[in-house]
Amino acid sequence: MTSETHSNDELRTRIEERAKGLSGGRSGGVRLQDGIVTVALDVSGLDAPVREDLSAQLRDGLLLLPEVTDVRVAMTAQRKARTIIAVGSGKGGVGKSTLATNIAIALSRLGRKVGMVDADIYGPSQPRLLGREDTRPEAQGDKLVPVMSPHGIPFLSMGQLAKPGQAIAWRGPMAGRALEQLTDAHWGDVDLLIVDLPPGTGDIQLSMLQKFKPAGAVIVSTPQDLALIDAARAITLFRDAGVPVIGMVENMAGYACPHCGEVSDPFGNGGAESEAAALDMPFLGRVPLDRSIRLGSDAGVPPVAQGGSLAEPFTAIAARIDGWITSQSAGG
Ligand SMILES: Nc1ncnc2c1ncn2[C@@H]1O[C@H](COP(=O)(O)OP(=O)(O)OP(=O)(O)O)[C@@H](O)[C@H]1O
Protein backbone atom coordinates (compact mmCIF):
# COMPACT_ATOMS: atom_id res chain seq x y z
CA MET A 1 0.00 0.00 0.00
CA THR A 2 1.48 3.39 -1.00
CA SER A 3 1.51 6.24 1.49
CA GLU A 4 -0.87 8.11 -0.86
CA THR A 5 -3.59 5.41 -0.71
CA HIS A 6 -2.97 5.12 3.00
CA SER A 7 -3.67 8.81 3.60
CA ASN A 8 -6.63 8.65 1.22
CA ASP A 9 -8.11 5.79 3.30
CA GLU A 10 -7.49 7.78 6.44
CA LEU A 11 -9.24 10.80 4.96
CA ARG A 12 -12.17 8.66 3.84
CA THR A 13 -12.53 7.21 7.36
CA ARG A 14 -12.41 10.71 8.79
CA ILE A 15 -15.13 11.87 6.37
CA GLU A 16 -17.24 8.82 7.20
CA GLU A 17 -17.05 9.61 10.90
CA ARG A 18 -17.86 13.26 10.31
CA ALA A 19 -20.82 12.24 8.10
CA LYS A 20 -22.19 9.95 10.82
CA GLY A 21 -22.07 12.81 13.31
CA LEU A 22 -23.72 15.23 10.90
CA SER A 23 -26.51 12.83 9.95
CA GLY A 24 -27.32 11.34 13.35
CA GLY A 25 -25.92 7.97 12.28
CA ARG A 26 -27.93 7.77 9.07
CA SER A 27 -25.03 8.00 6.60
CA GLY A 28 -23.47 4.93 5.09
CA GLY A 29 -20.35 4.27 3.06
CA VAL A 30 -18.39 7.18 1.56
CA ARG A 31 -16.67 7.25 -1.83
CA LEU A 32 -13.95 9.81 -2.41
CA GLN A 33 -12.49 10.71 -5.75
CA ASP A 34 -10.56 13.87 -6.65
CA GLY A 35 -12.05 15.69 -3.68
CA ILE A 36 -15.61 14.68 -4.60
CA VAL A 37 -17.46 12.84 -1.82
CA THR A 38 -20.40 10.56 -2.56
CA VAL A 39 -22.25 9.53 0.57
CA ALA A 40 -25.35 7.37 1.10
CA LEU A 41 -28.01 8.75 3.46
CA ASP A 42 -30.77 6.51 4.82
CA VAL A 43 -33.92 8.64 4.90
CA SER A 44 -36.40 5.86 5.73
CA GLY A 45 -39.40 7.11 7.67
CA LEU A 46 -38.52 10.80 7.35
CA ASP A 47 -40.88 13.38 5.89
CA ALA A 48 -39.72 15.09 2.72
CA PRO A 49 -38.79 18.44 4.32
CA VAL A 50 -36.78 16.67 7.06
CA ARG A 51 -34.94 14.62 4.44
CA GLU A 52 -33.99 17.74 2.51
CA ASP A 53 -32.79 19.51 5.67
CA LEU A 54 -30.71 16.53 6.76
CA SER A 55 -29.19 16.17 3.31
CA ALA A 56 -28.28 19.90 3.20
CA GLN A 57 -26.80 19.71 6.70
CA LEU A 58 -24.64 16.75 5.70
CA ARG A 59 -23.48 18.38 2.49
CA ASP A 60 -22.68 21.75 4.09
CA GLY A 61 -20.88 20.11 7.01
CA LEU A 62 -18.65 18.00 4.77
CA LEU A 63 -17.87 20.93 2.48
CA LEU A 64 -16.20 22.63 5.45
CA LEU A 65 -13.36 20.07 5.20
CA PRO A 66 -10.55 21.64 3.13
CA GLU A 67 -9.95 18.37 1.21
CA VAL A 68 -13.54 18.19 0.00
CA THR A 69 -14.49 20.09 -3.16
CA ASP A 70 -17.98 18.70 -3.73
CA VAL A 71 -20.53 16.46 -1.95
CA ARG A 72 -23.15 14.24 -3.57
CA VAL A 73 -25.72 12.82 -1.21
CA ALA A 74 -27.51 9.66 -2.41
CA MET A 75 -30.72 9.31 -0.43
CA THR A 76 -31.92 5.78 0.11
CA ALA A 77 -35.08 4.62 1.79
CA GLN A 78 -36.31 1.19 2.57
CA ARG A 79 -39.79 1.21 1.16
CA LYS A 80 -42.09 1.31 4.13
CA ALA A 81 -44.72 -1.35 4.10
CA ARG A 82 -48.01 0.48 4.58
CA THR A 83 -51.29 -1.14 5.40
CA ILE A 84 -54.03 0.04 3.06
CA ILE A 85 -57.65 -0.17 4.10
CA ALA A 86 -60.13 0.62 1.31
CA VAL A 87 -63.53 2.08 2.13
CA GLY A 88 -66.02 1.29 -0.60
CA SER A 89 -69.71 1.21 -1.36
CA GLY A 90 -71.87 -0.10 -4.14
CA LYS A 91 -73.88 3.08 -4.47
CA GLY A 92 -73.07 6.80 -4.21
CA GLY A 93 -74.28 9.04 -1.41
CA VAL A 94 -74.47 6.35 1.29
CA GLY A 95 -71.96 8.14 3.55
CA LYS A 96 -68.78 6.31 2.54
CA SER A 97 -66.62 9.45 2.65
CA THR A 98 -68.10 10.51 5.99
CA LEU A 99 -67.27 7.12 7.41
CA ALA A 100 -63.75 7.12 5.92
CA THR A 101 -62.97 10.50 7.53
CA ASN A 102 -64.26 9.54 10.93
CA ILE A 103 -62.62 6.13 11.14
CA ALA A 104 -59.33 7.69 10.00
CA ILE A 105 -59.46 10.22 12.84
CA ALA A 106 -60.62 7.60 15.36
CA LEU A 107 -57.82 5.20 14.33
CA SER A 108 -55.24 7.96 14.72
CA ARG A 109 -56.60 8.62 18.21
CA LEU A 110 -56.08 4.93 18.92
CA GLY A 111 -52.38 5.52 18.22
CA ARG A 112 -52.08 4.53 14.57
CA LYS A 113 -50.18 6.74 12.11
CA VAL A 114 -52.95 7.34 9.63
CA GLY A 115 -53.07 9.05 6.24
CA MET A 116 -56.06 9.54 3.95
CA VAL A 117 -56.21 9.03 0.18
CA ASP A 118 -59.35 10.46 -1.37
CA ALA A 119 -59.62 8.44 -4.59
CA ASP A 120 -63.22 9.39 -5.31
CA ILE A 121 -62.95 10.82 -8.83
CA TYR A 122 -66.67 11.54 -8.99
CA GLY A 123 -67.03 13.50 -5.80
CA PRO A 124 -63.78 14.09 -3.93
CA SER A 125 -65.00 15.39 -0.58
CA GLN A 126 -62.10 14.86 1.85
CA PRO A 127 -60.70 18.42 1.54
CA ARG A 128 -64.07 19.68 2.85
CA LEU A 129 -64.62 16.91 5.39
CA LEU A 130 -61.12 17.32 6.81
CA GLY A 131 -61.48 21.11 6.92
CA ARG A 132 -58.75 21.89 4.38
CA GLU A 133 -60.33 23.07 1.13
CA ASP A 134 -57.92 25.94 0.83
CA THR A 135 -54.60 24.13 0.51
CA ARG A 136 -53.12 22.31 -2.46
CA PRO A 137 -50.27 19.84 -2.08
CA GLU A 138 -46.76 20.71 -3.23
CA ALA A 139 -44.47 18.34 -5.07
CA GLN A 140 -41.05 17.41 -3.80
CA GLY A 141 -38.99 15.73 -6.49
CA ASP A 142 -41.47 13.69 -8.48
CA LYS A 143 -43.83 13.03 -5.55
CA LEU A 144 -46.59 14.93 -3.80
CA VAL A 145 -46.34 16.01 -0.17
CA PRO A 146 -49.66 15.31 1.62
CA VAL A 147 -51.54 18.23 3.16
CA MET A 148 -51.92 18.12 6.96
CA SER A 149 -55.51 18.49 8.19
CA PRO A 150 -56.41 20.27 11.45
CA HIS A 151 -57.39 16.83 12.81
CA GLY A 152 -53.84 15.47 12.54
CA ILE A 153 -54.49 13.38 9.42
CA PRO A 154 -52.31 14.09 6.37
CA PHE A 155 -54.26 13.60 3.16
CA LEU A 156 -54.22 13.77 -0.62
CA SER A 157 -57.32 14.06 -2.76
CA MET A 158 -58.26 13.61 -6.40
CA GLY A 159 -59.90 17.03 -6.00
CA GLN A 160 -56.45 18.56 -5.48
CA LEU A 161 -55.22 17.20 -8.81
CA ALA A 162 -57.94 18.97 -10.82
CA LYS A 163 -58.29 22.72 -11.27
CA PRO A 164 -60.76 24.22 -8.76
CA GLY A 165 -64.34 23.83 -9.98
CA GLN A 166 -63.29 21.50 -12.79
CA ALA A 167 -65.07 18.17 -13.13
CA ILE A 168 -62.83 15.13 -13.21
CA ALA A 169 -63.58 12.86 -16.12
CA TRP A 170 -60.64 10.48 -15.95
CA ARG A 171 -60.92 7.00 -17.28
CA GLY A 172 -58.72 3.94 -17.38
CA PRO A 173 -54.96 4.62 -17.41
CA MET A 174 -55.33 8.29 -16.46
CA ALA A 175 -57.41 7.49 -13.41
CA GLY A 176 -54.85 4.80 -12.53
CA ARG A 177 -51.96 7.26 -12.79
CA ALA A 178 -53.80 9.77 -10.60
CA LEU A 179 -54.37 7.08 -7.97
CA GLU A 180 -50.66 6.24 -8.12
CA GLN A 181 -49.73 9.89 -7.52
CA LEU A 182 -51.88 9.98 -4.40
CA THR A 183 -50.85 6.63 -2.97
CA ASP A 184 -47.15 6.66 -3.82
CA ALA A 185 -46.48 10.06 -2.22
CA HIS A 186 -44.19 11.35 0.54
CA TRP A 187 -46.24 9.76 3.32
CA GLY A 188 -43.37 9.90 5.84
CA ASP A 189 -44.08 7.84 8.92
CA VAL A 190 -47.72 7.08 8.03
CA ASP A 191 -48.19 3.33 8.27
CA LEU A 192 -51.93 3.06 7.67
CA LEU A 193 -53.59 4.54 4.60
CA ILE A 194 -57.37 4.81 4.49
CA VAL A 195 -58.52 5.00 0.87
CA ASP A 196 -61.90 6.58 0.16
CA LEU A 197 -62.88 4.85 -3.08
CA PRO A 198 -65.44 6.06 -5.60
CA PRO A 199 -68.76 4.19 -5.37
CA GLY A 200 -69.20 1.12 -7.53
CA THR A 201 -66.72 -1.16 -9.24
CA GLY A 202 -64.90 0.94 -11.84
CA ASP A 203 -61.39 1.79 -13.08
CA ILE A 204 -60.11 3.17 -9.77
CA GLN A 205 -61.10 0.03 -7.89
CA LEU A 206 -59.35 -2.13 -10.47
CA SER A 207 -56.17 -0.01 -10.37
CA MET A 208 -56.22 -0.12 -6.60
CA LEU A 209 -56.48 -3.90 -6.57
CA GLN A 210 -53.79 -4.35 -9.22
CA LYS A 211 -51.19 -1.83 -8.02
CA PHE A 212 -51.73 -1.32 -4.30
CA LYS A 213 -53.50 -4.37 -3.03
CA PRO A 214 -55.34 -3.30 0.13
CA ALA A 215 -54.96 -5.39 3.27
CA GLY A 216 -58.72 -5.21 3.73
CA ALA A 217 -61.89 -3.40 2.72
CA VAL A 218 -64.78 -1.85 4.62
CA ILE A 219 -68.13 -1.67 2.82
CA VAL A 220 -70.68 1.01 3.65
CA SER A 221 -74.36 0.67 2.85
CA THR A 222 -77.67 2.16 3.87
CA PRO A 223 -80.32 -0.33 5.01
CA GLN A 224 -82.13 -0.05 1.66
CA ASP A 225 -82.43 -3.13 -0.48
CA LEU A 226 -81.09 -1.45 -3.59
CA ALA A 227 -77.97 -0.14 -1.85
CA LEU A 228 -77.43 -3.59 -0.41
CA ILE A 229 -77.58 -5.31 -3.79
CA ASP A 230 -74.92 -2.88 -5.04
CA ALA A 231 -72.87 -3.40 -1.89
CA ALA A 232 -72.90 -7.16 -2.53
CA ARG A 233 -71.39 -6.46 -5.95
CA ALA A 234 -68.59 -4.39 -4.40
CA ILE A 235 -67.96 -7.17 -1.90
CA THR A 236 -67.64 -9.73 -4.70
CA LEU A 237 -65.07 -7.52 -6.46
CA PHE A 238 -62.81 -7.46 -3.38
CA ARG A 239 -63.26 -11.10 -2.57
CA ASP A 240 -62.49 -12.19 -6.14
CA ALA A 241 -59.25 -10.19 -5.93
CA GLY A 242 -58.31 -11.92 -2.68
CA VAL A 243 -58.85 -8.80 -0.54
CA PRO A 244 -60.58 -9.70 2.72
CA VAL A 245 -63.66 -7.68 3.55
CA ILE A 246 -63.19 -6.56 7.16
CA GLY A 247 -66.89 -6.01 7.45
CA MET A 248 -69.95 -3.98 6.61
CA VAL A 249 -71.19 -0.73 8.12
CA GLU A 250 -74.82 0.32 8.07
CA ASN A 251 -75.16 4.08 7.73
CA MET A 252 -78.24 6.31 8.04
CA ALA A 253 -80.05 3.76 10.16
CA GLY A 254 -82.74 5.02 12.50
CA TYR A 255 -83.68 8.71 12.52
CA ALA A 256 -84.45 10.50 15.76
CA CYS A 257 -86.83 13.40 15.11
CA PRO A 258 -85.23 16.50 16.66
CA HIS A 259 -88.73 17.85 17.53
CA CYS A 260 -90.71 14.94 18.99
CA GLY A 261 -87.89 12.44 19.60
CA GLU A 262 -89.70 9.65 17.80
CA VAL A 263 -87.29 7.23 16.15
CA SER A 264 -88.21 6.23 12.62
CA ASP A 265 -86.37 4.20 10.01
CA PRO A 266 -86.55 6.08 6.69
CA PHE A 267 -84.32 3.55 4.94
CA GLY A 268 -85.35 0.52 7.00
CA ASN A 269 -83.17 -0.88 9.76
CA GLY A 270 -80.92 -3.89 10.20
CA GLY A 271 -80.70 -4.61 6.46
CA ALA A 272 -76.92 -4.36 6.31
CA GLU A 273 -76.53 -6.50 9.42
CA SER A 274 -78.63 -9.33 8.04
CA GLU A 275 -76.95 -8.98 4.64
CA ALA A 276 -73.54 -9.19 6.34
CA ALA A 277 -74.66 -12.38 8.08
CA ALA A 278 -75.98 -13.82 4.80
CA LEU A 279 -72.67 -13.02 3.10
CA ASP A 280 -70.78 -14.50 6.02
CA MET A 281 -68.91 -11.37 6.99
CA PRO A 282 -68.61 -9.33 10.17
CA PHE A 283 -70.97 -6.46 10.84
CA LEU A 284 -68.91 -3.51 12.07
CA GLY A 285 -71.68 -1.27 13.35
CA ARG A 286 -74.53 1.09 12.67
CA VAL A 287 -74.46 4.90 12.37
CA PRO A 288 -77.77 6.73 12.84
CA LEU A 289 -79.14 9.31 10.44
CA ASP A 290 -78.46 12.48 12.37
CA ARG A 291 -78.62 16.04 11.14
CA SER A 292 -75.64 16.99 13.34
CA ILE A 293 -73.47 14.48 11.47
CA ARG A 294 -74.17 16.28 8.20
CA LEU A 295 -73.80 19.76 9.68
CA GLY A 296 -70.48 18.95 11.39
CA SER A 297 -69.16 17.16 8.31
CA ASP A 298 -70.06 20.03 5.99
CA ALA A 299 -68.31 22.48 8.31
CA GLY A 300 -65.08 20.43 8.35
CA VAL A 301 -65.60 19.35 11.98
CA PRO A 302 -66.22 15.58 11.75
CA PRO A 303 -68.35 13.94 14.48
CA VAL A 304 -65.36 12.06 15.90
CA ALA A 305 -63.51 15.35 16.40
CA GLN A 306 -66.57 16.68 18.27
CA GLY A 307 -66.62 13.78 20.73
CA GLY A 308 -69.66 12.82 22.80
CA SER A 309 -72.51 10.62 21.64
CA LEU A 310 -72.08 11.74 18.02
CA ALA A 311 -68.58 10.24 17.97
CA GLU A 312 -69.51 6.95 19.65
CA PRO A 313 -70.69 4.81 16.71
CA PHE A 314 -67.68 5.81 14.60
CA THR A 315 -65.25 5.18 17.46
CA ALA A 316 -66.73 1.71 18.04
CA ILE A 317 -66.43 0.84 14.33
CA ALA A 318 -62.81 2.12 14.25
CA ALA A 319 -61.98 0.00 17.32
CA ARG A 320 -63.21 -3.13 15.49
CA ILE A 321 -61.09 -2.25 12.44
CA ASP A 322 -58.12 -1.60 14.74
CA GLY A 323 -58.58 -5.05 16.28
CA TRP A 324 -58.74 -6.61 12.83
CA ILE A 325 -55.47 -4.91 11.76
CA THR A 326 -53.76 -6.10 14.94
CA SER A 327 -54.98 -9.66 14.41
CA GLN A 328 -53.62 -9.59 10.84
CA SER A 329 -50.17 -8.35 11.84
CA ALA A 330 -50.09 -11.00 14.55
CA GLY A 331 -50.74 -13.53 11.80
CA GLY A 332 -54.16 -14.31 13.20
N1 LIG B 1 -75.32 9.22 9.28
C2 LIG B 1 -75.57 10.35 8.65
N3 LIG B 1 -76.50 11.23 9.09
C4 LIG B 1 -76.76 12.37 8.42
N5 LIG B 1 -76.15 12.74 7.28
C6 LIG B 1 -75.20 11.90 6.78
C7 LIG B 1 -74.85 10.68 7.44
N8 LIG B 1 -73.87 10.09 6.72
C9 LIG B 1 -73.62 10.90 5.68
N10 LIG B 1 -74.42 11.99 5.70
C11 LIG B 1 -74.48 13.09 4.72
O12 LIG B 1 -74.88 12.50 3.48
C13 LIG B 1 -74.18 13.14 2.39
C14 LIG B 1 -73.42 12.08 1.60
O15 LIG B 1 -72.40 11.55 2.42
P16 LIG B 1 -70.98 11.16 1.83
O17 LIG B 1 -70.45 12.24 0.94
O18 LIG B 1 -70.14 10.72 2.96
O19 LIG B 1 -71.41 9.92 0.95
P20 LIG B 1 -70.59 9.09 -0.12
O21 LIG B 1 -71.14 7.74 -0.10
O22 LIG B 1 -69.14 9.26 0.07
O23 LIG B 1 -71.02 9.85 -1.41
P24 LIG B 1 -70.28 9.91 -2.86
O25 LIG B 1 -70.88 8.81 -3.60
O26 LIG B 1 -70.67 11.25 -3.37
O27 LIG B 1 -68.83 9.78 -2.63
C28 LIG B 1 -73.30 14.20 3.03
O29 LIG B 1 -73.97 15.43 2.98
C30 LIG B 1 -73.15 13.73 4.46
O31 LIG B 1 -72.90 14.80 5.38
Domains within the chain, CATH numbers bracketed: 3-76 (3.30.300.130), 83-329 (3.40.50.300)
- Say what angle helices 96-109 and 308-329 make with each other, to 10 degrees: 70
Contacts of 205 (CB under 8 A, 6+ apart): 88, 197, 198, 234, 237
Q: Is 270 annotated as a binding residue?
A: no
- How far is C-alpha 273 from the geometric centre of its chain's CA atoms? 27
* The residue type at 285: G
> What's at 163, amino acid-wise?
K
Check pocket membership of 252 for ligand 1, CB cut-off 6 A: yes
pLDDT values of the chain reduced to their tens digit, one per residue, 332 residues: 456 665 788 899 999 999 999 998 889 888 899 999 999 888 877 777 888 999 999 999 999 999 999 999 988 876 667 899 999 998 889 999 999 999 999 999 999 999 999 999 888 999 999 999 888 998 887 889 999 999 999 999 998 887 766 666 677 778 888 899 999 998 988 999 999 999 988 888 888 888 888 999 999 998 876 667 888 888 898 998 899 999 999 998 877 677 776 667 766 666 778 888 888 889 999 998 888 899 999 999 999 999 888 899 999 999 999 999 999 876 54
Which mutation among 204, 297, 306 tests ligand 1's pocket best, with the greatest number of atoms within 8 A of CB? 297
Ligand 1 near 290 CB (within 6 A): yes
Residue 84 CA, ligand 1 centroid: distance in Å: 22
Q: Where are the beta strands (DSSP E) in 34-141?
A: 36-42, 70-76, 83-88, 114-118, 138-140
Return d(Cα 77, Cα 61) in angstroms, integer. 22
Q: If you count them, how many residues does the chain have?
A: 332
Beta-carbon count within 10 A of 157 CB: 27
